[in-house]
Each structure stands twice: as structure tokens, then as C-alpha cells.
Amino acid sequence: NQEKLSSARFSESTDAFVEAFTASIQFDNRMYKQDIQGSIAHAKMLTKVGILNDAELNDIINGLNQVQREIEAGEFQWSIKQEDIHMNLEARLTSLIGITGKKLHTGRSRNDQVATDIRLYLRDEIDSILPEMKRLQTGLVELAEREADTIMPGFTHLQTAQPVTFGHHMLAWFEMIKRDVERLEDCRKRVNTLPLGSAALAGTTYPIEREYTAELLGFERITENSLDGVSDRDFAIEFTAFAATLMMHLSRFSEELVLWSSAQFQFIDLPDRFCTGSSIMPQKKNPDVPELVRGKSGRVYGHLMSLLTLMKSQPLAYNKDNQEDKEPLFDTVDTVKGSLRAFADMVPAIQVKREMTYEAAKRGFSTATDLADYLVGKGLAFRDSHEVVGLAVAHGIKTGEDLSEMSLETLQGFCDKITDDVFEVLTLEGSVAARDHLGGTAPNQVRAAVTRAKTYLDS
């Protein structure tokens, strides 16, 4: 059993409950690789400036590599007494290489060490999340291309509004994820800043070369104020804000998939492997994956609130409160990665029921705006044509006819400017094809957007 940290100053050992209560090793051991990576870079810097010699550096590197092997083989003895990942690794290193292990912490504090570890950890996770987001985007673009001509009802207020193409709808989701990618890439710049060298709070008396450590660890920038360096967790808040926004998008996306796969909509089939059955109702096929992702958005919003609240009243510089940053951040990372993986796997396998979406678009007078626009073309003011079409719709509600099913005479009863070229305008195909400008729903525009999206994904 190792001695209590800085035991010389204390007259009694820590209360056993307090020891467990204040420890973070149960969760911060997830950062073992980054802690070792940071320690090796720090030791190299200390050697460069003459604080360690080459033999000592060699022992430290070999020792830390040995520690990493033990952890990865599941042989490492984690100890609550050693409180956190930093002390656990240093204690083991010292037991392996002796007094040199005790020199590693020269010119460093756990305060700048942990800040460095979290940034390295988060940078690694960001670099694995970004390709998953691209994979989801690729699935959406492929689905959009496949369904560029597929017609479905577009909704506002969840009431039939105007026909849209299914591909256009997929590309709306693509745009949301694209903004999330931008947010994450921007967040990465601030994550990728080195706080090491801040030491406990004021900097250090040793002739350290922070630029060299930064270069070794691939950091683009160095924090410019030691007090801020050890106490800044903005980058974790920004990441969680990104994650909350992404989860909000995935949740909206989920909501539509759940609706669309219901017997009432029947727009899509989700692959069986992403659904589950019911223990009592033999007919059930439940869209568990989208439902769960929709539900998981809640915990990520909660983590964002936790982190903001965690930071709001902390005086400078480091406070133990900061240890509470890790679990929300880690769970956010896990939740985002799981949700993205599920969606990236599921989206390419969505089957669209084209006849059903087409039939649905025919209900609800989805081409009423097209008729109004047609009458404007015939010289009516838009407000007047809106009124005329309203009367035609009211008639259709009574007789059960769609606008396209009414006879020319019936239509002319509402406005004598209507001629038989109206029927082309009243088709669903004509309606979507007419919205043929950048950002519009026309199949042409979907194909053009797919081409732009592919260029973006390749870059």
C-alpha cells in the first residue's frame, strides 16, 4: 500500500470514506493513454532543457510503456489510495524504475496535467466522431440520390402542405449534420491548445519550453495565461453544446422515422435488425433504435447543464469541483458515438414505400398552392387567387375530390380564367418539378445538391 499523497503534512490518514468519495480513478482511468503520452512529452521537454538526462528519460519512457502494457493486459492494480489516474501511473512507474520516477513531476502539477489529458482525450474522440458523422452524411446522400424522384407529402404543423421529394427531405438532414460538423471542427481548434506549463496555477520556476511539448503532442496553440490554463473547461462545454445540438437533430430525425414507420404513415420500412418485437403483441415491430436515440438526447442536454453549472461559481484557479467534469463529458462522448453509429448503420438500409408516399401526397390538397400560383400567372392578384382556391378546396372537402379530380367546368365555376392546362399544374410531378431553383425540392435540384454534397464529402 502506497503512502498518502503528501503524507508528511498530515497527522492522520484520510478517512476511508473520504478517500473513496474524493477519488476519481474509477472513471478517469479511461485517460491512461493520454496521461502516458503527456508524461512522455513532458519528460522529453525536461531532458531537452537539461533537467533530466538521457538515461533518466529512457527509463521513464520504458517504464511508462511497461505501465501501458500492464493496463492493456488487464494486469494493472488500480488503487483508490492513489486517488486518480495521474497518481496511479506515477506510483507504478516509481515502483518500476525507482527514484527517476519521482522526477517526472518536476515543473508540473496535476492541475495542468489533467487539463492536458482531457484535451488529448477529447481531441482523439473528436477525430473518431468526425468520420462517423461523414459516414452518416454519406448514407443520407446515397438515399437522397436513390429517392430523388420519390414524391411524398411535405408538412407544416404536421398537416399536409406541399409535395416534396423524399431525396430533398434526406438532404435537409444532411445540412443539419453538416452544420454540426462545422461546429465540431471549430470546437477542435480550442480543444487543441496546450495548458501544460501552467503548473499548479502560476507557472513554474524551471526553464521549461512549452512550444516543444506542444509540438510533441501535436497541439496547435499554447494557453497564454497559467491561471486560465488550469481552470478553463470551456472546450468541454463547447463540445457538449455541439453534442446537444447534434442529439437534438438526431432526435427530430428519430421522431420522423418513428412516425413514418407506423401503420398510419407507412412511408418507410426500417430494417428488422434495427427493430425489436413485443413480449405480448405478436405483430409488433418497434423502432427501438430511433426511439432510444430520441430518448438519449435528454442525458446529453443534462450533461451540458451540469458542466455549465459546474463552472459557474468557481473562483480561479483550479478547484476540486473540476473533477466532476469527466463523467458528463465521457457519457456525452459515449452517447454521441453510439447514436451516430446506430444511425450511420441504419440510414442506408431504410426502405421507402414509394406508392404509399405518393398516395399520401395526393391527400390533403397538397397542390393547392400550385393552383393559386397558376391563377397568378393568369393575371389574378395572389390574395384573390388564394381565396378562389380556398373555395375550391372547401368544395373538394364536401365531395371528396382532389383538385386534380375536379372537372374543368367545376374548376371554371370558381374562376373563369382556368383552362385545361391547369391539370398539368395539379399533378404531383408538376408541382415538385416547378420548384426548380437552388434549395428547391425539384428532382433536378436534388441531383444537383447530391453532386455538391459528394464534392464536400470527398474534400
Known catalytic residues are 157, 278
Q: How far apart are CA 63 and CA 380, in angstroms?
A: 84
266 — phi, psi (to 5°)? 55, 45
Tell me how far, at minimum, the Cβ of 115 lies from ligand ARG, in Å.
8
* Structure-block grid coordinates of residue 91: 506510483
Closest to ligand ARG by CB, 71 or 388: 71
Amino acid (1-letter code) at residue 165: T
* Structure-block grid coordinates of residue 171: 438532404
Closest to ligand ARG by CB, 23 or 426: 23
First to last CA, the chain: 54
Q: Which residues contact 144 (CB under 8 A, 6 or more apart)?
A: 166, 167, 168, 170, 171, 174, 446, 449, 450, 453
Strands 221-222 and 193-194: parallel
What part of residues 1-20 is at the interface with ligand ARG (CB under 6 A)?
none
The helix or strand, by DSSP H or E, that contains position 423, with its residue range, turns out to be: helix 422-425
Closest to ligand ARG by CB, 9 or 157: 9
Q: Does 213 bind ligand ARG (CB under 6 A)?
A: no
86 in Cβ contact with 39 (< 8 Å): no
Q: Does 233 bind ligand ARG (CB under 6 A)?
A: no
What part of residues 99-128 is at the interface with ligand ARG (CB under 6 A)?
110-111, 114
Tell me how far, at minimum, the Cβ of 74 lies from ligand ARG, in Å.
23
Q: Does 24 bind ligand ARG (CB under 6 A)?
A: yes
Tell me how far, at minimum, the Cβ of 88 lies from ligand ARG, in Å.
10
The helix or strand, by DSSP H or E, that contains position 151, with its residue range, turns out to be: strand 151-156
Tell me whether the omega of the peptide bond preceding residue 449 falls within 30 degrees of 0, making it cis: no
Closest to ligand ARG by CB, 82 or 160: 82
Decide: residue 291, CB within 10 A, 0-12 exposed, 13-18 middle, 19+ buried. Answer: middle
Tell me how far, at minimum, the Cβ of 95 lies from ligand ARG, in Å.
20
Tell me how far, at minimum, the Cβ of 45 lies from ligand ARG, in Å.
20
Closest to ligand ARG by CB, 57 or 199: 199
Please give the size of the binding site for ligand ARG, defined by CB under 6 A.
10
CB atoms within 10 A of CB 171: 26
Tell me how far, at minimum, the Cβ of 228 lies from ligand ARG, in Å.
16
Helical H segments across 73-221, by residue range: 85-97, 110-146, 166-191, 210-217
Nearest of 226, 222, 221, 219 to residue 198 by alpha carbon: 226
Closest to ligand ARG by CB, 323 or 332: 323
Q: Which residues contact 378 (CB under 8 A, 6 or more apart)?
A: 415, 417, 418
Give the 3-state secondary structure of residue 221: strand
What part of residues 308-367 is at the interface with ligand ARG (CB under 6 A)?
318, 320, 322-323
Tell me how far, at minimum, the Cβ of 254 lies from ligand ARG, in Å.
34
Closest to ligand ARG by CB, 37 or 323: 323
CB atoms within 10 A of CB 215: 14
Closest to ligand ARG by CB, 24 or 251: 24
Q: Does 84 bind ligand ARG (CB under 6 A)?
A: yes
Q: Does 34 bind ligand ARG (CB under 6 A)?
A: no
What part of residues 181-210 is at the interface with ligand ARG (CB under 6 A)?
none
- Eight-class DSSP state of 3: P
Q: Would residue 107 be called left, alpha or beta, if left means φ above 0 and alpha means ψ between -120 and 50 degrees?
A: left
What part of residues 280-319 is at the interface with ligand ARG (CB under 6 A)?
318
Tell me how far, at minimum, the Cβ of 327 lies from ligand ARG, in Å.
10
What residues make contact with ligand ARG under the rule CB under 6 A?
Answer: 24, 28, 84, 110-111, 114, 318, 320, 322-323
